[in-house]
Amino acid sequence: MLETLRNFIVSEVGVGIFAVDREYNLLLWNRFMADHSGISAQDALGRNLFELFPDLPQKWLSKKVDSVFMLHNFAFTSWEQRPWLFPFRHNRPITGGIDFMQQNCTFMPVREADGEVSAVAVTVNDVTDVAVYQSMLKQAMAKLEESSSRDGLTGVYNRRFTEARLLEEIGRVERYQADTFSVILLDLDHFKQINDTHGHLGGDEVLCEVVARVRNVLRDTDVFGRYGGEEFLLMLPQTGREGAVAAAERIRKSIASSPILYNEVPINATGSLGVATYEVGAPKVERVKAQADLALYASKRAGRNRVTFYSAQMVDKELGAG
């Protein structure tokens, strides 16, 4: 009765179970293993495991099994270290790129009455669901992280992320004492008037279209963030004065190039820009942003829709005027 019960459990349990002797000849091969491998117990028993499955990772597997024979201890393997031992197909419809059944394995010493280990029994647990959920969770976390660094309306980076990138770049330049970078501040002109004339939704449409146009003229490595309502900050790595002014001119022109249509009504938008280049060893980290701010202010005062590069004289002039 006990023997029947034992055979029944080994056969019906939803887990793979097999056992090998010291020569890796199969002593046990349950129905789960037969169903998933396509090799019946009749064909498997007595055969050498590595001859039957030449693709098994022999070196790795024999190290595990040998240690169980030698130390009389249990051993475990997790799908996170090695996704599977046997390349069994699984039957889940959605797995996000997981092709084979993910497996956790337990290696158990089979002891004789005299305490000697005569065989090693291995269970193969299907943990594909766990692996699928974990991969879905990872993807969701990555998305969440990405969205928390983006501005909801325009999709460019938000202020927090832009500032963090700015500090990171300052750290990089200071560490290597090498190349520099530039900052462009862009502020749309008379935006209040655009809102007043075309409504808040019209203003939003202008912001989104401006972002699309600016994106078109940027390099992939440039960081583009929304700094405030209608103010944007661009950080251009490895770019000195000349390159940054040229980029700012391209941005200015792309905004003013043609009216933006909102409900088929043309809206003329322009932007003022201030540019500053970071100097290695600048006493204060926020200085480059403050310099770009002064240059932007100069652009506004000079009539808007223009680009100004920071100069030291501005400190007295613009602050005095403000």
Ligand X SMILES: Nc1nc2c(ncn2[C@@H]2O[C@H](COP(=O)(O)OP(=O)(O)OP(=O)(O)O)[C@@H](O)[C@H]2O)c(=O)[nH]1
| Interface contacts to ligand X, rule CB under 6 A | 153, 187-193, 195, 200, 203-204, 207, 229-230, 300, 304
* Shortest spacing between CB 208 and ligand X, in angstroms: 10
> How many CB atoms neighbour CB 3 within 10 A?
7
174 labelled catalytic: no
CA neighbor of 233 nearest in space, from 167, 302, 312, 317: 167
SS3 280: coil
> How many CB atoms neighbour CB 258 within 10 A?
11
Ordered DSSP codes for 13-76? SSSEEEEE-TT-BEEEE-HHHHHHHS--HHHHTTSBHHHH-TTS-HHHHHHHHHHHHHH---EE
Nearer of residues 78 and 193 to ligand X, judged by Cβ: 193
Ramachandran quadrant class, 162 (left: phi over 0; alpha: psi -120 to 50; beta: rest): alpha
Nearer of residues 203 and 274 to ligand X, judged by Cβ: 203
Q: State the Cα angle at 203 between 198 and 204, rounded to 5°.
A: 135
* Shortest spacing between CB 157 and ligand X, in angstroms: 15
Nearer of residues 126 and 187 to ligand X, judged by Cβ: 187
Nearer of residues 93 and 228 to ligand X, judged by Cβ: 228
Select which of 23, 230, 231, 249 is catalytic.
Answer: 230
Q: Distance between CA atoms of 26 and 32, rounded to whole angstroms? A: 15
In sequence order, the 6+-apart residues with CB closer than 8 A to the CB of 27 are 19, 20, 21, 45, 119
**In the bound complex, which residue of the shown chain has the CB atom lying closest to ligand X?**
229
* Shortest spacing between CB 284 and ligand X, in angstroms: 26
* Shortest spacing between CB 259 and ligand X, in angstroms: 17
* Shortest spacing between CB 299 and ligand X, in angstroms: 10
Query: What angle, 0 to 180 degrees and rounded to 10, lies between the N-to-C axes of helices 287-301 and 159-176?
Result: 120
* Shortest spacing between CB 197 and ligand X, in angstroms: 11
Nearer of residues 188 and 211 to ligand X, judged by Cβ: 188
CA neighbor of 319 nearest in space, from 284, 293, 287: 293
CA neighbor of 222 nearest in space, from 246, 193, 255: 246
> How many CB atoms neighbour CB 94 within 10 A?
7
Nearer of residues 189 and 209 to ligand X, judged by Cβ: 189
- For residues 274 and 182, is the Cβ–Cβ distance under 8 A? no
Known catalytic residues?
Answer: 230
